[in-house]
Amino acid sequence: MVIDERLNWEKCKFSHKDETIGEKGYGFEEFKNQCQYTFEKLSELSKKYKIQIVLEIEMLNKYLYQGKLLKDLLEAYPDLKLCLDSARIHVLSNIDYNFDYNIFIKEMAKYTYLLHISNIKVTDVIENGHHPALMKLNEQDGWSNIGEFLNIISSENKDVKVLFEHRSDILTEDELNECYDWVMSYF
């Protein structure tokens, strides 16, 4: 993953140091060429096997969310779609002050095939990962604004698939039903 070295990535847990490289060590042109190659190969596989390939990007960098690279690639390879993960987007928006998740979600909504829905609390630390998305979780307390996320997506694309990527064992059955009903009310 190519990261901006000026930002504080301590909140993110990478398994190995070799999972990241700084932007200074991996320039835009090299990144663009690698993405082009990867999209081309994945598109070939999608067509050959007649399967929908869905890309879930671990953590976005400015090469992908600024400019037109990602949008141009998705336009050029319409058989490839995105998975947007509400928790990952929330974490990134709390680390990278240049990332505007509202703009990104709106731009990527039409290319999105799958939503991973869960909440996470980001303050000085990241905690409560894979928490169910509940309407009562407050953005001022560090929780993601799932309602805003869903509103943006659903206003652009009602055909997305939803995967609840949460720990259902921490809620009652009524709370889980509340979560499912609320999220699905957007679609």
Q: What is the pTM of this model?
A: 0.90
Domains: count for the chain:
1
Question: What's the domain range around 26?
Answer: 2-184
Q: Checking phi first, is residue 67 left (phi over 0); if not, alpha (psi -120 to 50) or beta? A: left
Residues 134, 175 contacting (CB under 8 angstroms): yes
Query: How far is it, in rounded angstroms, from Cα 88 to Cα 173?
Result: 26
**Closest listed residue to residue 104, CA positions, set 64, 139, 55:** 64
Residue 13 has pLDDT above 80, yes or no: no
**pLDDT per residue as tens digits for the range 86-95:** 999 999 999 8
Q: How far is CA 179 from CA 51, 82, 147, 155, in A?
A: 30, 23, 11, 20
**pLDDT per residue as tens digits for the range 28-45:** 999 999 999 999 999 999
